[in-house]
């Protein structure tokens, strides 16, 4: 143990010259990248050890899923979310975005409608379109700084051609952890209107508020589980999205059959490194995850207090994820201004919300402080008409 505890999230790790998508975007420029959702921390030491062991073995032949993998997924869901699944319900995927694209093809025909609420993680909007399905976007509502569903508006949007609701829970980008009551009401609507639900729960391991709890939608009731496909991955919590391992969970065998049929011969099997990393993370990574959540919580608090005092910005409370959602509509061309000031943020327009910004705060605190100072400086120059 060091003074910082067992894990040191303050240690800066140089990601330049590693072909990092996040850092390459601003190659050669003094811009702190805070756009795409990966963390500037090394993954859990237990994951690195497992990967090193596998790398040193030296033979990288065709690999079946390790026998312990789906039982480890099931044990983690029961421990962390109180959700009992049968390991048979798991369908492995090489990425969660792959899963979003597969479900659009598996559960809706060409020309059918797929419903989602905006703002939303951009692949929710592109996946239906890639498959020639129609994407129906219903806005979430903001009230007193908190985002919620407008169920009446959602229901009015449903037509006889609507097949599927794409749900993000916890929610990227607003950071909401939907309560059991909110999820039950949403599921009630979907069951009544015979919509399948695809619930992307990739951020379920990143709940920051001690008072909030992630409820897997399908865990609420067997009748909801019958109509739900849950998409998950360890890659967001444990920061190995480049290793390509995610999974769907469906208790309904017909939904699993349709998923597998749509994937057959097209979606590649999951790589060995992703499966071993996932196994190690779920089996042995809990202590690292809890330390990470403490660190992210303090970063989140710093973002909210610092940017909350900046004129022209409204920052929403991030209950889960390491992504802050910011209303910057009072600052014209905010993304460009902040980029010129040396911080690269994600443009809310990509999420269906022009004028908003998403800031990734999963980095060492010293870097975060520098980025927040740059943002505050640029915002105050803009409020003075600069
Ligand atoms: C809601 C959500 N789904 C999926 C993904 C990406 O998943 P993958 O890298 O497994 O495709 C992200 C990444 O940020 C996300 O926020």
How would residue 2 be classed by pLDDT, with cut points 50, 70 and 90? very low
CA-nearest of 144, 140, 168 to 154 is 140
- Looking from the CA of residue 99, the nearest atom of ligand 1 is 11
Q: Tell me, what's the pLDDT at 254?
A: 98
How would residue 384 be classed by pLDDT, with cut points 50, 70 and 90? confident
What strands, in cross-sheet order, belong to the sheet with 346-347? 314-315, 323-327, 356-360, 346-347
Q: What is the distance between the alpha carbons of residues 315 and 329, in angstroms, rounded to a whole number?
A: 12
Whether 169 and 201 have beta carbons less than 8 Å apart is answered as yes
> Does 5 have pLDDT greater than 80?
no
- Looking from the CA of residue 245, the nearest atom of ligand 1 is 10
Whether 217 and 169 have beta carbons less than 8 Å apart is answered as yes
- Looking from the CA of residue 121, the nearest atom of ligand 1 is 1
> Does 385 have pLDDT greater than 80?
no
Give 97 Cα–ligand 1 centroid separation in angstroms. 6
Select from 104, 119, 123 the residue to mutate for testing ligand 1; criterion: most ligand atoms less than 8 Å from CB: 123
Whether 191 and 223 have beta carbons less than 8 Å apart is answered as yes
Give 123 Cα–ligand 1 centroid separation in angstroms. 8
Select from 36, 236, 248, 271 the residue to mutate for testing ligand 1; criterion: most ligand atoms less than 8 Å from CB: 236
Which residue lies with its CA nearest to atom 7 of ligand 1? 96
Which residue lies with its CA nearest to atom 13 of ligand 1? 37
Give 58 Cα–ligand 1 centroid separation in angstroms. 30
CA-nearest of 125, 124, 122, 169 to 147 is 169
Q: Tell me, what's the pLDDT at 171?
A: 98
With a Cβ cut-off of 6 Å, ligand 1 is lined by 37, 95-97, 121, 168, 172, 200, 202, 233, 235, 241, 246
Whether 80 and 215 have beta carbons less than 8 Å apart is answered as no
Mean pLDDT of 262-289: 97
Give 3 Cα–ligand 1 centroid separation in angstroms. 34
> Does 1 have pLDDT greater than 50?
no
Whether 249 and 223 have beta carbons less than 8 Å apart is answered as no
Tell me the per-residue pLDDT of 126-178, one tens digit each, with 9 for 90 and over.
Answer: 999 999 999 999 999 999 999 999 999 999 999 999 999 999 999 999 999 99
How would residue 381 be classed by pLDDT, with cut points 50, 70 and 90? confident
> Does 313 have pLDDT greater than 80?
yes
Give 386 Cα–ligand 1 centroid separation in angstroms. 37
CA-nearest of 73, 70, 132 to 101 is 132
- The residue whose two tokens read 């303050």 is 10
**Among the residues of 38-164, which ranges form H helices?**
45-57, 69-81, 96-107, 123-130, 151-157
Give 102 Cα–ligand 1 centroid separation in angstroms. 14
Backbone φ/ψ region at 246: left (φ over 0), alpha (ψ -120 to 50), beta: beta
- Looking from the CA of residue 98, the nearest atom of ligand 1 is 11
Give 202 Cα–ligand 1 centroid separation in angstroms. 7
């Amino acid at each position: 143990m060091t003074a910082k505890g067992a894990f040191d999230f303050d240690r800066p790790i140089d990601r330049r010259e590693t072909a990092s998508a996040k850092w390459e975007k601003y190659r050669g420029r003094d811009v702190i990248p805070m756009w795409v959702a990966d963390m500037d921390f090394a993954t859990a030491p237990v994951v690195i050890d497992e990967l090193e062991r596998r790398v040193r073995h030296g033979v990288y032949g065709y690999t079946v899923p390790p026998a312990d993998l789906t039982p480890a997924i099931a044990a983690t869901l029961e421990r962390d979310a109180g959700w009992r699944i049968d390991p048979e319900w798991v369908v492995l995927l090489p990425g969660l975005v792959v899963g979003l694209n597969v479900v659009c093809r598996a559960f809706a025909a060409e020309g059918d409608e797929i419903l989602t609420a905006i703002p939303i993680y951009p692949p929710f909007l592109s996946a239906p379109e890639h498959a020639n399905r129609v994407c129906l976007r219903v806005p979430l509502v903001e009230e007193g700084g908190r985002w919620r569903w407008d169920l009446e508006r959602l229901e009015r949007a449903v037509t006889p051609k609507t097949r599927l609701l794409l749900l993000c829970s916890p929610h990227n980008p607003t950071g909401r952890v939907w309560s059991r009551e909110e999820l039950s009401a949403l599921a009630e609507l979907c069951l009544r209107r015979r919509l399948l639900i695809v619930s992307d729960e990739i951020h379920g391991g990143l709940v920051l508020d001690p008072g909030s709890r992630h409820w897997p939608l399908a865990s609420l009731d067997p009748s909801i589980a019958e109509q739900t496909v849950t998409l998950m991955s360890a890659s967001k919590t444990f920061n190995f999205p480049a290793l390509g391992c995610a999974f769907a969970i469906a208790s309904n065998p017909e939904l699993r059959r349709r998923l597998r049929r749509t994937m057959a011969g097209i979606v590649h099997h999951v790589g060995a490194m992703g499966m071993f990393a996932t196994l190690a993370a779920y089996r042995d990574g809990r202590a690292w995850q809890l330390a990470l959540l403490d660190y992210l919580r303090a970063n989140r608090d710093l973002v909210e207090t610092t940017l909350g005092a900046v004129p022209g910005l409204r920052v929403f409370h991030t209950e889960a994820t390491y992504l802050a959602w910011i209303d910057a509509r009072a600052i014209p061309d905010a993304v460009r201004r902040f980029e010129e000031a040396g911080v690269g943020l994600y443009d809310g327009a990509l999420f269906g919300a022009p004028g908003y910004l998403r800031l990734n705060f999963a980095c060492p605190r010293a870097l975060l402080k520098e980025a927040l100072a740059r943002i505050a400086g640029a915002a105050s120059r803009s409020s003075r008409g600069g």
